[in-house]
Amino acid sequence: MPTIRLPGPLRRYSGGAASLLVAGATVGAALDAAFGLYPELRPRLLDDRGEVHRHLAVFRNGTELPRSGLAQATLGAEDTLTLLEAVGGGSG
Closest CA to 70 of 58, 78, 56, 86: 58
What's this model's pTM, rounded to 2 decimal places?
Answer: 0.90
Residue 35: CB atoms within 10 A of its CB come to 16
Where along the chain do its domains lie?
3-85
Closest CA to 57 of 18, 14, 12, 27: 27
Tell me the pLDDT of the chain (92 aa) as tens digits: 999 999 999 999 999 999 999 999 999 999 999 999 999 999 999 999 999 999 999 999 999 999 899 999 999 999 999 999 876 655 65
Write the CB contacts of 35 (distance below 8 Å, at least 6 apart in sequence): 41, 42
For domain 3-85, the question of CATH label 2.130.10.10 is answered with: no
Residue type, 7: P
Do residues 22 and 4 make contact, with C-beta atoms less than 8 angstroms apart?
yes
